[in-house]
Amino acid sequence: MFIDIHTHSAFARHPAVSRPNGSTYPTPERLIEMMDEHGIDKAVVLSTLSPEFRYTIVIPEEVLKIQQHFPDRIIPFCNLDPRFIGNSPDSDFRPLLQAYKELGCKGVGEYIPNIPFDDPLNINVFRQVEEIGLPLTFHIAPRAGGCYGCIDDVGLPRLEKVLQACPDLKLLAHSQAFWAEISTDVIRGGERVGYPTGPVTPGRVVELMRRYPNLLGDLSAHSGFNAISRDPEFGYAFLEEFQDRLFWGTDIANDPQELPIVGYFRNLKAEKLISEDAYEKITWRNADRLLGLGLEPEGEEHP
């Protein structure tokens, strides 16, 4: 089974909401076709509310409507922007979050406001999401402007402050600026917005995941795939060490789109490059547990 922790979809397919290259989010029907083509059983569909670097906005209500069309395949995530309500670190988002949770949303994300990760506006949101009991998928940005995502510096010090401030908040980490930190290369002026190559010397991602059990790894997009595949032997060891906190995903956000992580994981299984337990946990069991999907066969115990 594959449960995809990170996809995007929208009903609209009009040139006005396409990227300059003409690509768009896949429609719900096309997303299901892409899932079928690649053997993906279920997928989280994320909403994107913050305006930074967006070409279209997908609100939680649209994601819930998509889920209603495909209730056995789609897992909805809600979202909010920390500047909502009063643009204040005292804004109360709990009624909104609780309402979305009751409507069936299993998490929050993709969380992308282009303000510092540890800004009081963000901390306010994170603490309330923690209180409501939902996981949150975030995108880290390397700078202010010209991109989207919460801003952090080399070494991810702001992320660490959030991990300390919200120890019970499950944070699904994503983006180039996060996964580049899997190796110490980035400290020596390496690429934070691209896809570094070559051997990995374990960096801040490894350090933070060892130190903070609430930090989870979203392996989607080329950033996550590149992090585990650029140095194969390191990648196998990383998948084994953090098998309980890594989540398989694609970041489907274009139609068409290549999904190299599908074949990569199938090969891991076929060649027995990681353990069966690690494979099962990363591809679906961890998502089942985190999101409360109830897919584990009744009576079956699994470490």
Q: What is the pLDDT of residue 23?
A: 77
Q: What is the pLDDT of residue 186?
A: 84
For residues 21 and 5, the model is more confident at 5
Domain ranges of the chain: 3-291
298 pLDDT above the threshold of 60: no
157 pLDDT above the threshold of 80: yes
Which tens digits make up the pLDDT trace of 178-191?
Answer: 999 999 988 766 66
Q: What is the pLDDT of residue 296?
A: 77
Q: What is the pLDDT of residue 189?
A: 64
Interatomic CA distance for residues 51 and 157, integer angstroms: 25
Which whole number is the average pLDDT over 265-284? 98
The model carries a pTM of 0.95
Amino acid at 4: D
123 pLDDT above the threshold of 50: yes
Using pLDDT thresholds of 50, 70 and 90, give the confidence band for residue 44.
very high
CATH number for the segment(s) 3-291: 3.20.20.140
Which whole number is the average pLDDT over 129-150? 96
